[in-house]
Structure 1
Amino acid sequence: MSDTTRHAPGPATTEVTIWSLEQTSPADLRPATAPDGDLRIVRSQVPLPEFSRFLYTAVGGDIRWTDRLGMTYAQWQEALERPGAETWVAYENGTPAGYVELDAQDDGAVEIVYFGLIPAFRGRRIGGHLLSYGTARAWDLARRWPERKPTERVWLHTCSKDGPHAMDNYLRRGFRLFDTRTVTEPDVANPGPWPGADLR
């Protein structure tokens, strides 16, 4: 007697490579030249979940940033209000172009938790300058948060879902690879800044 039971296929998955990079001295930073034009980088000093969620979805929607999409308003607020958390936003001609989110950790490390540009602003030499500026703010973060230890290390991770120029930008800015791992993640649709907004 043959087994004719059919099992429904499981959810599709994707293998993702994660690279972790670091700087261990402010002297490691190799700043990019600032692009021409009206580009300003400003710290968002009011913890505002609505604005942070906009930045997160607008920057990460086409590269499958999904880990924060299920967070409640209160969870966003908690993340933004933790001591040593900072969001630095790049504006071109008054329009948000991208951002860097920093997280000061108890061991003297500062993580660049999120970094990226809204798609319309990519490929215009803004990313190198924004990363340079955000990394410099990670190194001097304790000046604005005297209760935090002086920064001894700045680190971040990027992955194979990120844009094709992400790794090169990090290496050019003086970050060094210290860990590589591969994980399996659910294969999700690009969420875009709002449902159905993926234009690719």
Structure 2
Amino acid sequence: MTQVTVTFLQQLSSSEVIPAAKSLPDTARIELAAGITPEYSRFLYQCVGSELNWADRLDSTREQWNEVLQRPGSETWVLYLDGSPKGYFELVTASGPTGSEVEIFYFGLFPEATGQGLGGVLLTEALNSAWSLATRWPGIPGITRVWLHTCSLDGPAALPNYQARGLKIYRTEVEDSQVRDASLGLWPEPAA
């Protein structure tokens, strides 16, 4: 078991979003993956999370994975650079009697895309997409909160990026966690 610090951050208004100073390169775009399949979602998850020990969804069946993707208010947005995926974010919405909350369920860049200033631009888009989600989903009440969590296993730039975009810490927990190697199964073992 390993002690992991989990940090929860939120925004309570779209006016709290602090846009990244950089913009996307001309050869990049961020687009909604309408009709995303569990296979593509899992590919994105593993490409981002394999070096960060993301393993919480690896035991999910295809049906369980698809159930998350098909919930009203769930969206996956993909960052493409030179035509290839380089990062993504997944939004999941929970509606209540007074409005809806959007969780940035997953967010990250492929390892080769880190350190290029893309994280701030992608997070700005994630926050703006979360705050405007009700305009794309008839029947979902207005958004009252956007939140996410990160942990001490995530990349060193994660928490500073979240705070630089205007997210504020509202809770921190330390928990014992069984850390799994998330890269297992990503590539076959070399032949002996």
Name the TM tier (shorter chain): over 0.9
How far apart, in 1, do the equivalents of 2:44 and 2:148 lie?
18
2:163 pairs with 167, 171, 180, which one?
171
Contact 2:46 2:182 in 1 (8 A): no
Structure 2 length as normaliser, TM-score?
0.93
How far apart, in 2, do the equivalents of 1:151 and 1:190 lie?
33
1:112 is aligned to 104
Deviation track 1:59-87 (CA, whole Å, cap 9, x = no partner) reads 00100000000011111111100000000
1:4 is aligned to none
How far apart, in 1, do the equivalents of 2:188 and 2:172 lie?
33
The CA deviation at 1:195 is: 4.6
Choose 1 or 2 for highest CA Rg. 1
How far apart, in 2, do the equivalents of 1:138 and 1:180 lie?
23
1:90 pairs with 52, 57, 79, which one?
79
3-state SS, counterpart of residue 112 of structure 1: strand
Q: What percentage of aligned pairs have identical amino acids?
A: 43
How far apart, in 1, do the equivalents of 2:121 and 2:164 lie?
11
The answer to whether residue 135 in structure 2 is matched with residue 143 in structure 1 is yes
Of 34-43 and 133-142, more deviation after overlay is shown by: 34-43
How far apart, in 2, do the equivalents of 1:139 and 1:193 lie?
35
Deviation track 1:113-152 (CA, whole Å, cap 9, x = no partner) reads 0000000100001110000001100000000101111111
Q: Which runs of 4+ in 1 moved over 6 A?
A: none
RMSD: 1.3
1:162 pairs with 148, 154, 161, which one?
154
Structure 1 length as normaliser, TM-score?
0.89
Correspondences of 1:171-190 after superposition (within 5 Å): 171-190=163-182
1:31 is aligned to 19
Correspondences of 1:1-80 after superposition (within 5 Å): 13-32=1-20, 33-80=22-69
The CA deviation at 1:186 is: 1.0
Contact 1:84 1:141 in 2 (8 A): yes
Matched residues, number: 185
How far apart, in 2, do the equivalents of 1:130 and 1:153 lie?
19
* Unmatched segments (≥5 aa) in structure 2: none
